[in-house]
Structure 1
Amino acid sequence: MTRSGGRWRLIVDGAAGGAWNMAVDRAMLVAHAAAEAPPTLRLYRWTPPAVSLGRFQSADDVDLPYCAAEGLEICRRPTGGRGVLHDDELTYSIVAGVADGLPRGVRRSYAVLCEALAEAYRALGVDASLTARDRGERGSGACYLHATSADLSLGAAKLSGSAQVWSGDSCLQHGSFVVDRDVTREARVFMLNDEHTRALERSTATIAAVIGRRPSWDEVTSAVAEAVGRVFSVELEPATLSGDELEMAGRMRQDHVVRSTLT
């Protein structure tokens, strides 16, 4: 790949609601596409736990009464793909573009960005690699029942899913570093039958399960940031969102609400 060099922003956010997290990622993309923000790595978590749906995914894929009873926010991503339960994880988002060393095209850009993610996993003791071929349950609304060449796996077990959207020459990609998984809860959210619940348990892996302990959030954050810096040959500078990005995210938040615990 073409190494970009230079400096990127590193934004390490606290935990926030699902619609807000998605609005922030989208605002960063809009700002970068308008040449009003630098390339950025953002790392964040979710409170309360949330279910994110792909941009065009039906809410019928989710058990809405169960989510309401559990206090789970349901939001819509600006990216495509299937539904994800965001709970015990660190989420990353990368906004960068062709001028920052990202190759054009979905498959090529996924390969470059996932190189950095795989390095982060290896630094944590997980031998991750890009999924060699598509596999899993295509008909389910649950992201982790299906693996594609845009995902990272440990052997036959899916570790991480990512989703992407472009605006001009600028790209947003975001995804999850799952520390631990509550399979029963995830199965209830996506209304999985017993067979698919067993498949979810059998065909996924988490950081804690692989390395035999829970890494700290700081440990995961550092692994991701250092890997992105190495792969893109950039210096990551701690930063915050600009005032314009915060204002834009505030205006966009409602666009990403499917069901909020705040309303």
Structure 2
Amino acid sequence: MSRSDWQDHAWHLVHAEPQAPALHMALDDVMLDEVAAGRRPPTLRVWEWAGPAVVMGRFQSLRNEVDVEAAARHGIDVVRRISGGGAMFIEPGNTITYSVLAPLSLVHGMSFEEAYAHMDAWVIEALAGLGIRAWYQPLNDIASEAGKIAGAAQTRRRGAVLHHVTMAYDIDAGKMMEVLRIGREKLSDKGTTSAGKRVDPLRSQTGLPRAEVIAHMVETFGRRHGGLVGDILHPDELGRAQALARERFSTPEWTALLP
């Protein structure tokens, strides 16, 4: 296999209606297989959330990462994704989440650190266009002078790569601290009392509505990578993902895979 460039691929954009957290997990799983099989072109998928969530990494312990009682009290779904990395706190309207699903040739021969930087370069450019000086911070963060902006995760399977990123547009720091145990530990270690010191939302840095930030990101992706064709979730993809969400991603067995 030789390495391909972004411009070697015909990129599609999927930006569908809000979906439940477990369905988002399943969609990434199904669409990764579709790209690997050549049934779907390389795709940028922008997520919309139907409800709040904590998204755990594939190898995280539920009890170590999440205060399950606090999550239930706030009506927050706890789900586990197929990629590694840390837990993300999600609220609709406060979060910008996207997936890049591509042939593995795009990162062929790269270390994980090189691959993360490569997959995030367009976002760094998009943020610069909004007046934010941001950079890739190994292994999986996008940071600015005001604090962390985003966290990324990645997995590779059957000749395809999935790279997904959650960006903080706005944040309820108090609620996040109640639900995420790791957040409490990091903050107490630093002697700080506000999660706002660690995560700086895009809303405060840009002053722009969330939809405008997303539109600018999408425009940057298309301009940098040779175009972006509007697409939809194919009915068979959605059907398979709905079944997978029911059978795996919304089950206690999967969520508590590492208790």
What's the TM-score once normalised by structure 1's chain length?
A: 0.83
Counterpart of 1:142 in structure 2 is: none
State the SS of the aligned residue for 1:161: strand
| Cα separation, 2, equivalents of 1:205 and 1:52 | 19
| Cα separation, 2, equivalents of 1:218 and 1:204 | 20
Note if 1:170 corresponds to 2:163: no
Corresponding letter in the other structure for 2:30: A
Corresponding letter in the other structure for 2:15: V
Consecutive unaligned residues of structure 1, counting only runs of 5 or more, are 132-147
Note if 1:187 corresponds to 2:177: yes
| Cα separation, 2, equivalents of 1:3 and 1:70 | 41
What's the TM-score once normalised by structure 2's chain length?
A: 0.85
CA contact (8 A) 1:6 1:235 kept: no
Pick from 202, 208, 211: which aligns with 2:203?
Answer: 208
Counterpart of 1:236 in structure 2 is: 228
CA contact (8 A) 2:66 2:179 kept: yes
Note if 1:121 corresponds to 2:127: yes
1:98 deviates by 3.6
Note if 1:33 corresponds to 2:36: yes
Counterpart of 1:224 in structure 2 is: 217
1:188 deviates by 0.4
1:156 deviates by 6.7
- For residues 16-70 of structure 1, the C-alpha deviation after alignment (integer angstroms, 9 at most, x for no partner) is 2110111111111011111111000010121211110111211102111111111
Note if 1:47 corresponds to 2:50: yes
Decide whether aligned partners of structure 1 residues 98 and 81 sit closer, same or farther in structure 2, where only a CA change above 3 A counts. closer
Decide whether aligned partners of structure 1 residues 172 and 51 sit closer, same or farther in structure 2, where only a CA change above 3 A counts. same
Decide whether aligned partners of structure 1 residues 244 and 127 sit closer, same or farther in structure 2, where only a CA change above 3 A counts. same
State the SS of the aligned residue for 1:125: coil
Greater Cα shift, 242-251 or 39-48: 242-251
CA contact (8 A) 1:79 1:164 kept: yes
CA contact (8 A) 1:98 1:104 kept: no
State the SS of the aligned residue for 1:250: helix
| Cα separation, 2, equivalents of 1:65 and 1:177 | 25
Greater Cα shift, 73-82 or 6-15: 6-15
Counterpart of 1:82 in structure 2 is: 86
Pick from 247, 251, 255: which aligns with 2:243?
Answer: 251
Aligned length: 239
Decide whether aligned partners of structure 1 residues 51 and 28 sit closer, same or farther in structure 2, where only a CA change above 3 A counts. same
- For residues 207-251 of structure 1, the C-alpha deviation after alignment (integer angstroms, 9 at most, x for no partner) is 11223x2x22331221221222233x2211111112221122122
Consecutive unaligned residues of structure 2, counting only runs of 5 or more, are 253-259
Deviation beyond 6 Å, 4+ runs, structure 1: none
Where is the strand percentage greater, Structure 1 or Structure 2?
A: 1
CA contact (8 A) 2:169 2:210 kept: no
State the SS of the aligned residue for 1:4: helix
Counterpart of 2:75 in structure 1 is: 71
| Cα separation, 2, equivalents of 1:176 and 1:3 | 21
CA contact (8 A) 1:92 1:175 kept: yes
CA contact (8 A) 1:96 1:102 kept: no
State the SS of the aligned residue for 1:92: strand
Corresponding letter in the other structure for 1:242: H
Counterpart of 1:137 in structure 2 is: none
Percent identity over the alignment?
28
Counterpart of 2:113 in structure 1 is: 107
Superposition RMSD on alpha carbons, in Å? Answer: 2.0
State the SS of the aligned residue for 1:55: coil
Counterpart of 1:155 in structure 2 is: 145
1:258 deviates by 5.5
State the SS of the aligned residue for 1:7: coil
Where is the helix percentage greater, Structure 1 or Structure 2?
A: 2
State the SS of the aligned residue for 2:16: strand
| Cα separation, 1, equivalents of 2:114 and 2:169 | 27
| Cα separation, 2, equivalents of 1:165 and 1:8 | 19
CA contact (8 A) 1:75 1:256 kept: yes
